[in-house]
Structure 1
Amino acid sequence: MQDAKEALGMLKMSSQLLPNHDLITRTLARREAVHSSQIEGTRTQLPELFEYEVTGGEGLPADAGITQRYVQALEFGLASYRQQGSRAALDERLVKQLHAELMRDAVEVYRPGEYRLMQVWIGQGRRIEDATFVPPPPEYLAECMSAFVRDLLQYTPVEEEQGELSIVAQLALAHAQFETIHPFVDGNGRVGRLLLPLMLAAEGYPPLYISGFLLRNRRDYYDTLSATQLRGDWAPWCTFLAEAVTQACRSAIAIAQDMTALEQRWQRQLEVLGLRRDAAALKLPRLLLAQPVVTVRQVEQELGISFPTANKALDVLVRCGILSEPAQRRHRVYHARELLDRLSQD
């Protein structure tokens, strides 16, 4: 737990020193969306998600839309918290809204934004008798969720207590408890993981995304979580979650530093070409930090320039090797391949 707490402190300090922190955070949020969705079985890769956002999904797998809804739910949650500015924003209404955003195109049986009305169970069998774990019946969900929000999402130390829970312990308890309650028919894992960066943001930390670690260690993720539900064995889960936080912090810092260095190198590559100081091409490296997949139309809109000017600027970056066109489609799509490759690394 102590290593995780120190890692969070380093992440907080590092984020304050980054010149393009908001742009980098935007990109890391999409990386998180891909990883969290892949835990549930989707196959969309990060470049496909970025392509989906700039083209509307033409020629891309349907999974890309599911992953993009995760991005929308995450952005909605962070915006909701920032509007209120305290942990009071993390209430039942927000939990339901996250689920509604995540599942808004789902079939009616999933009841987007509403607690389940049926009994569900966890396991491979089709009968409840073969279940490995059975969450609370629907009539108990309101009571369970009310306690969950009060005691964990909106946790406030009590003066009489011997000591307060660290934020890492709060994350471990909250995620395990939410998955145990299993309030929705589907989407519980993703909503549970969405709550973690919101809890951290409410404590003054940058949003931290741990799904990459959970995906790479999926078996341990399920086993240690299951141990809390079936045997009340919390130690392995808390240790696992603390390691996830530690590794995610180190990864985020390293990726952010590499992204900053890459943007600076791209800028130097363009400057030696002798372009005019107001050339549109010189503005593209910073844009690519947040959007490493772009189209001409998108650059036109983002930079407020004409379509021909945007097209010429992109051609400059293609000639420099900064951008490439991976495939010919109806929409010309440009990839910052070096950045995408770095984001795909563990």
Structure 2
Amino acid sequence: MDERKLKAAFEAIRREVHPFIAVANIEWYSLFKDEIRNSIAIEGIFANRKELLDVLERNKRTSDQKMAAILGYFESAGSLYDYANNLYNEQEFQLRIADIRQIHTLLMRYESQLGTFQGTVGRFRRENVEVADAGFRPLDAAYISDMMGGFVQWINAQMADPQHNPLRLAAASHVLFETIHPFKDGNGRVGRILLNFLLIGEGYANIAIKGVQKNDRERYYEALAIGDDGFDRMLRMVEVGLQPTPDLID
């Protein structure tokens, strides 16, 4: 894996889309829609571009569950990315526990209203869970609060080091977050929004980890499952995420 090549690709995109462009900008809007489609597809919620646009323009024309997932992701990611960009411009970016809770609160609120999410939005889980199609066991619930505190501390310490690699940090933090799995549901989407939150907070563009095709989803879960080696695999997925996704869903 050539990290210099990966970093150069990110720098090229940053020059094109930074300062952060409002959702009204067509090019950035297209990038954001690509991220939403891929991220919810990893969770088994598939939407083609027309369905996505219908939901975002409030022309329902799809299932309630799909609409809740799309709107939740759009509002959570859009709000947090804008916040991260503002902090970046002010050179004050740091991660807080409250940011992670807010990602989950906005992401899951429509699913909570619909009744498909049975839990409290923004609250860390209090029970043990298993993850379908993943080869790892999430952290025991008793340790989540302490571990999340350490997780945030570790990320901020890494960002304070002028020699740190933002891309490697984003990939490593995503693998670690998914292993902790702090919420009852929605951890995958929260983790992918958090990955982009960290990238934007350090001046990079958001990316879409591919998930529309089955083999992309399988590679993603494999990268999460293999521990330290997963950091390098996640970096490769971040690199692939720079490329737009063909509309493969009818």
Displacement after TM superposition at 1:83 (Å) = 4.0
Q: 1:243 aligns with which of 236, 240, 248?
A: 236
Instruction: State how far apart, in whole Å, the 2-side matches of 1:204 and 1:181 are.
Output: 26
Instruction: State how far apart, in whole Å, the 2-side matches of 1:78 and 1:84 are.
Output: 10
Q: 1:110 aligns with which of 119, 137, 143?
A: 119
Instruction: Give SS of 2:109's match.
Output: coil
Matching residue's letter, 2:208 = Y
Displacement after TM superposition at 1:121 (Å) = 2.1
Displacement after TM superposition at 1:212 (Å) = 4.8
Residue in 2 that maps onto 1:7: 9
Instruction: State how far apart, in whole Å, the 2-side matches of 1:147 and 1:214 are.
Output: 35
Instruction: State how far apart, in whole Å, the 2-side matches of 1:72 and 1:95 are.
Output: 14
- Higher-Rg structure is 1
Instruction: State how far apart, in whole Å, the 2-side matches of 1:40 and 1:20 are.
Output: 27
**Matches of residues 207-222 of structure 1 in structure 2 within 5 Å?**
207-212=206-211, 216-222=215-221
How many pairs were matched up?
237
Question: Unaligned stretches of 5+ in structure 2?
Answer: none
Q: 2:128 aligns with which of 119, 135, 150?
A: 119
Instruction: State how far apart, in whole Å, the 1-side matches of 2:174 and 2:96 are.
Output: 15
Instruction: State how far apart, in whole Å, the 1-side matches of 2:140 and 2:184 are.
Output: 12
Instruction: State how far apart, in whole Å, the 1-side matches of 2:18 and 2:76 are.
Output: 25
Displacement after TM superposition at 1:205 (Å) = 1.5
Instruction: State how far apart, in whole Å, the 1-side matches of 2:185 and 2:22 are.
Output: 36
Instruction: State how far apart, in whole Å, the 1-side matches of 2:204 and 2:155 are.
Output: 17
Instruction: State how far apart, in whole Å, the 1-side matches of 2:130 and 2:81 are.
Output: 31
Displacement after TM superposition at 1:72 (Å) = 0.7
Matching residue's letter, 1:71 = F
Q: 1:92 aligns with which of 91, 97, 104?
A: 97
Aligned sequence identity (%)? 24
Do the aligned partners of residues 154 and 209 (structure 1) sit closer, same or farther apart at CA in structure 2, a change above 3 Å counting?
farther
**Matches of residues 259-274 of structure 1 in structure 2 within 5 Å?**
none
Question: Unaligned stretches of 5+ in structure 1?
Answer: 125-130, 229-233, 253-341
| TM-score, length of structure 1 as denominator length | 0.61
Higher relative contact order (CA 8 A, sep 6+): 2
Displacement after TM superposition at 1:158 (Å) = 4.4
| TM-score, length of structure 2 as denominator length | 0.83
Instruction: State how far apart, in whole Å, the 1-side matches of 2:57 and 2:161 are.
Output: 48
Q: 1:28 aligns with which of 24, 27, 31?
A: 31
Q: 2:41 aligns with which of 25, 38, 59?
A: 38
The answer to whether the aligner puts 1:65 opposite 2:68 as a matched pair is yes
